[in-house]
Structure 1
Amino acid sequence: MVQNDMNTIFVLPNYRLRKAYATLVSVPVRRQFGIDFERSDHRIHLIMTRVTLNIGLFGCGTVGGGVFDLLHSPIRRQMLQQMGVNALVSKICVQNVSKDRQLVHFSALETTITSSYSDILEDESINCIVELMGGIDDAKDVVFGAIKAGKHVITANKALVANCMPEIVQLLQDHPDVRFGYEAAVAGGIPIIHTLQDAYGSDIITEIAGIMNGTTNYMLSKMETQGVAYDVVLKEAQDLGYAEANPSADVDGYDVQSKIAILTKLGFGGVVKPVDIPTVGISRISSADFEYAKMMDSTIKLLGVAKLLKPKDENTGTPQEVAVYVSPVVVNRNNVIASISGATNLVNVRSDNLGSSAYVGPGAGRFPTANSVMNDIIQLARGDAPLDPFKKSLPLTLQSDYEAHFYVRITITDGLGVIRHVGQIAEENGVSIYSILQAPIVDRANVQFVVTTETSLLSKVRLMCQKIAALPFVQEEPLFLPIM
């Protein structure tokens, strides 16, 4: 390999290698990435020139504005050029073209603003689109239209990627010269997508678990450290801009649902529909739960979890079984996940070769997320974008009935025989009780206590809780959480 100021030259002296490259590297790919062949001395030189990415940007809000400023900052542009990256945004598509977007490095001579998708999708000079609109329907039209037009796509849209993954995979197979980047779709500034794409090629992943929503982690951290009620901390998160006016995507777990669906595909190879993932939010968590968690030397975190239960049976061909869920989890203080507070994200990957590897960083924000978008742009401009961004598809059976130790909070009107009745129902449903925790009773009309179980099936614990809820002295359906 020879490098100079403008080119990277791979010398291929072997006839079979020359023939293979000439066959595999199609003319459109060579044109797209600036690859050419030079013949001399009975050899072929494969030349990869620096390529300018002419970008159409859809959406120019918090993250989109960050991407624009990073690309057009003179200092950062010089840094990118030193890496062999030339990229600029020539068109921006937004709903309101007259809005002042306070783009520090905007120049009307270099970039135009439009409200028409077709101004970008039908512009043959634009070879890459960056989709930062959010939502699914309009974003799907843009992304699918770009792929069909032969334009590379970079997106931060986790809902689109998670819900439309099979269609995206098929489109990319139909348009093999198009590259697709989505690093910013999961965990903001943490490069977890590229890591799972590249770093575990000779390893077997057995579990992916993590804090993937900064809003809920901020809320739970405040509830734990300051004893703030759920409703109060939600209002505070909304006032600070962490939570939307309609916070359901965050507090009900749907945001994490999309993210763990994406990571499940990268970690285990199988497509899992977000709607099929058992999902529980944080709205029933109270300050009392943190008091009981403290008794257990633990805390509570909203996690997305994907865990290998059974590997593929090579003799029978039975697909691997993977448990995937989103839930508040009682996490022991010895677990690295328990140490993450505030809006920070963490993804912990367990694998055969590496054991436990934790990836920590900001889960959202203008420049953390924009940085992940930039990493996709850099990878694409340098010709390093993966041919198969979702990795090889493998058969997978989603197992929603997983085993764990469980935390069960029960609220009652105090009386004789309560523990006996609860224990009897647990026994009838095949659930073995490990311990019983109870804080001092303040109000006998409203008493809470916690039962922890031995390893039990989720289905058995759920049925047990439904039957306990029917007891006359029980005030509400028990809250049950897995323990990690």
Structure 2
Amino acid sequence: MAGKVGVGLLGLGTVGGGVASILQNPSERHPLVGELELIRVAVRDLNRPRPVALDESLLTTDPSAVIQDPAVDVVVEVIGGLEPARSLILQAIAAGKSVVTANKAVIARHGQEIAEAAAAARVYVLIEAAVGGGIPIIEPLKQSLGGNRINRVSGIINGTTNYILTRMAEEGAAYDAVLKDAQELGYAEADPAADVDGLDAADKIAILATLAFGGSVDRSAVPTDGISGLQGVDVDYANQLGYGVKLLAVAERMAERMPNSDDPLPLSLRVQPTLVPKDHPLAGVNGVNNAILVEGDPIGRVMFYGPGAGAGPTASAVVADILNIAGIRKASDGPGKVDPLLAASSWRPCSLVDSGDIRQRHYVRFKTKDAPGVIGNVGGCFGQRNVSIQSIVQFNASDAGAEIVVITHEVSQRQMNEALEAIQALPEVSGLAAHLGCL
């Protein structure tokens, strides 16, 4: 295919500005970057200051003008949010344009619809920047690890919460104070709910699960718990017991799918604050960094680590996707030829198991009276529900009461809930103060 590959950009904020900067400065990058040409850019306000200097003739306030421009081969969507992003992506596909997007919210909720539209139109929708910022994880799951039977994907995939938890652990700082610092530094939004309540991580693990296990999952059914209710005392107790606390997102297969069966592959997904042993690969991931651990057969464990957000890392992932599409277009001398590994459509049905069937270890902290027999009664309630205990420790005993911290072996969520209900009914137990996951 002769000539440049035309790029249309929807959005010129932090990430869009980073993409434009790379395209305008191809020197010392891969030679194919020099074959990319920025054709049109859609912005909300023509008079707003820009993160990168652009010729005013490239700018428009009409996204459709970018999509319909015949010189645009690849549409890059970096405006964020659900709408109009979803509609614009579908509009670009209908116009025969491949799409690159960093929009995790749209892909997590409407990925199947978008993938089907792209397959019908024989174009690509690539999403490397939607998960992990600059970490290359999407394409490895689709291609490099394709010969493996993936059993589990877990990781730290929200930099804001990891920054907060790192500060709480290293400095003993209070959650509210660190959140305020994160907002001042630009790591957290003015409304931090998407990060601290685990919603951002749930979007991302839904996407990773779809790629790792071959079928779409229901994003709305992912059990999600954030860090906004986490207390510093639990971070401290975890440290004393040999653990760090991380907001982990986990996707794992729960059972085998019978050969030639139409039954969906059962999967367990969850997002929650989790105790991580200090010798675990994820325990040393600190600050705003992300890490994703993929476990499969025959490869074993592979970890992808790096900056999970920001203009530079995310723009890097966006441009990598543009280069993938540009390379295919040039090799095939035009659109219409689709690489099945690069496109990576769903290839089997998957379903989420009932939340009560999710199995993991647990950390729980109870407020109790400081009296003889309390630990025995708590342990008895666990034992009667077949919940095996790894450790049970009493902290801060005084006339005012005590705190009992329990770490269990792996157990179903249903059994754990039944045991907790029985324990909270004990007269010497005043309440369940904390409940976290545990690796």
Task: Please give the range of the TM-score, normalised by the shorter of the 2 chains.
Answer: over 0.9
Greater relative contact order structure (CA < 8 Å, 6+ sep): 2
1:233 lines up with 2:181 in the alignment: no
2:135 and 2:11 mapped to 1: Cα distance? 22
Judge conservation of contact 1:210–1:304 (CA < 8 Å) in 2: yes
Query: Contact between 1:212 and 1:303, CA under 8 Å: does it hold in 2?
Result: yes
> Any gaps of 5 or more consecutive residues in structure 1?
1-33, 35-48
Looking at structure 2, the residues matched to 194 and 120 of structure 1 have their Cα atoms a distance apart, in angstroms, of 27
Q: Which residue is equivalent to 1:56?
A: 8
Match of 2:102 among 156, 170, 180: 156
Q: What is the aligned partner in structure 1 of residue 22 from structure 2?
A: 70
- The answer (yes or no) to whether the contact 1:214–1:344 under 8 Å persists in 2 is yes
> Shift of residue 395 of structure 1?
2.0
Within the candidate set 93, 100, 105, 2:42 is matched to 93
User: Structure 1 residue 420: deviation in Å?
Assistant: 3.4
- Deviations along 1:380-422, one digit per CA (max 9) or x if unpaired, are 1111774453344212231232222211111234444432332
* Pairs within 5 Å for 1:65-464: 65-73=17-25, 75=27, 79-80=29-30, 82-83=31-32, 86-104=35-53, 106-108=54-56, 111-176=57-122, 178-314=123-259, 318-383=263-328, 386-387=339-340, 389-399=343-353, 400=355, 401-441=357-397, 444-445=399-400, 447-464=402-419
Structure 1 residue 284, shift from structure 2 partner: 2.4
Alpha-carbon distance in structure 1 between the residues aligned to 2:176 and 2:426 = 28
TM-score by length of 1: 0.84
Contact 2:393 2:406 in 1 (8 A): yes
How far apart, CA to CA, are the structure 2 residues paired with 1:479 and 1:453? 14
Is the Cα contact below 8 Å between 1:152 and 1:180 reproduced in 2?
A: yes
Secondary structure of the residue aligned to 1:83 is: helix
| Contact 2:365 2:406 (8 Å CA) reproduced | yes
* Deviates further, 324-333 or 406-415: 406-415
- The superposition leaves residues 236-272 of structure 1 with CA deviations (integer Å, 9 ceiling, x where unpaired) of 1111111111111101111010100011011101211
Measured in 2, the distance between the counterparts of 1:129 and 1:444 equals 66
Shift of 1:310: 1.3
SS at match of 2:27: helix
Structure 2: give runs of 5+ residues left out of the alignment: 330-337
Distance 1:416 1:84 in 2: 71
8 A Cα contact 1:409 1:449, kept in partner: yes
- Say if 1:150 and 1:444 are closer, same or farther in 2 by CA, change over 3 A: farther
**Are the structure 2 counterparts of residues 199 and 102 from structure 1 closer, same or farther at C-alpha, using a change threshold of 3 Å?**
closer
Distance 1:332 1:282 in 2: 18
Taking only aligned residues, the RMSD between alpha carbons, in angstroms, comes to 2.0
Task: State the match for 2:332 in structure 1.
Answer: none
Q: CA deviation digits over 1:68-95, x for unaligned, max 9?
A: 001001525xx34x23751122211111
User: What SS does the corresponding residue of 1:338 show, helix, strand or coil?
Assistant: coil
Which structure's CA Rg is the greater one?
1
Q: Distance between the aligned counterparts of 1:446 and 1:60, measured in 2?
A: 57
Equivalent pair of 1:438/1:450 in contact (CA under 8 Å)? yes
Amino acid at match of 1:98: N
Take 2:4 and 2:418, find their aligned partners in 1: how far apart are those partners? 59
TM-score (norm 2): 0.92
Contact 1:465 1:478 in 2 (8 A): no
Pairwise CA distance, 1:287: 2.0
Structure 1 residues 228 and 275: alpha-carbon distance in aligned structure 2, compared to 1, 3 A threshold: same
1:71 counterpart letter in structure 2: L
- Larger deviation, residues 83-92 vs 449-458: 83-92
What letter is aligned with 2:412?
L
Q: C-alpha deviations, 1:148-184, integer Å up to 9, x for none?
A: 11111000000000100121122112211x1111100
Q: Aligned residue pairs: how many?
A: 428
Following superposition, the deviation at residue 478 of structure 1 comes to: 4.2
